[in-house]
Chain A
């Protein structure tokens, strides 16, 4: 069968989600942020909640996320996304509200806001994109950087004696009574992408049911910061991140 007989509108099975804007993503080639944006857009489209969703973008590479998903947005000062999301959700309780944050944003400067929003059980969704590094500012160590991981501020690898332990913030969040769903996912292959999408959908449904805070960590790659090709970065992530940041649900109530 000729390719031109296959490429017809009636045979289309997958394409760019209409909730994504036409803007070209500013992210590096192969960056996990783009894949996660797409999944959020697809869930919003499938649930029919495009005009009912408010997102909070972080400081970090995803600071411009509002350019790409065609919903309402606020852009938070560094680490304060959960506080803004709390305000948005309490003023507009019928909206779906989510934050989109990096590991530096959420687990360093934003630790207090994050933990207290989760402990209050705000009916919001928190998306943590854990690439174990400050991507935007040139690849410095974050609290979630692995032991031994080389970054621009740990050129000999993260040294526990000097830099402390990598923080399993998601495991801490799972302890809080305000959270209803806490999971760790990834997006490096098609099966993982589909699982993450299911997790996002479940999290949005939880907030409609007022079950409390849903928290999704997506273990991600930052190929520029890690100084690897996109494909090698995903491999490095599987080999080095997954043994420490184990995938799966930590809590589902």
Chain B
């Protein structure tokens, strides 16, 4: 059974470190061009259709700003 996932990023708390990006096996995540009020770019789903909800990105995020959702399809 395939899994379909999605992430929600707490944009104000994201520090744009990029650690989630290199840890996503499906290359879902990118960084925004715009910055938050602290001046950091924010992670977002650049390729949302590829997300499997594996939770790797959220597991490695030092600032705990990613929430992961997953459904069976």
Q: Which residues of A contact B (CB under 8 A)?
A: 1, 3, 5-8, 11-17, 20, 24-25, 27-35, 38, 187-190, 193-194, 229-231, 234
Closest chain B residue to A8, Cβ basis = B69
User: By CB atoms of chain A within 10 A, which of B59, B65, B68, B70 has the most?
Assistant: B59
Give how many B residues have a beta carbon under 8 Å from the other chain's beta carbons.
36
Bound Cα distance from A31 to B13, whole angstroms = 14
Q: Is the CB of A30 within 8 A of B23?
A: no
Give a binary string over B1-12; 1 marks a CB under 8 Å from any A CB, 0 the rest: 000111010100
Residue numbers in A under 8 Å from B70 (CB-CB): 6, 11, 13
Give the residues in chain B near A229, CB-CB below 8 Å: 18
Q: Which residues of B contact A (CB under 8 A)?
A: 4-6, 8, 10, 13, 15-19, 21-23, 40, 45, 48, 53-56, 58-71, 73
Once the chains bind, are A190 and B68 in contact (CB under 8 Å)?
no
Q: Which residues of A contact B45 (CB under 8 A)?
A: 3
Chain A residues with CB under 8 Å of B15's CB are 28-30
Given A27-B62, A30-B19, A190-B54; 20 other pairs, CB 8 A cutoff: A3-B45, A3-B48, A6-B69, A6-B71, A7-B8, A11-B71, A12-B68, A13-B5, A13-B53, A15-B64, A16-B67, A17-B64, A29-B17, A29-B40, A29-B62, A30-B17, A30-B18, A34-B61, A188-B19, A234-B19
Q: How far is the CA of A3 from the CA of B46 in the complex (A)?
A: 12
Give every chain A residue within 8 A of B56 (Cβ-Cβ).
189-190
CA separation between A13 and B51, bound complex, in Å?
A: 13
In the complex, the chain A residue whose C-beta lies closest to that of B69 is: A11
Bound Cα distance A189, B4 (Å): 22
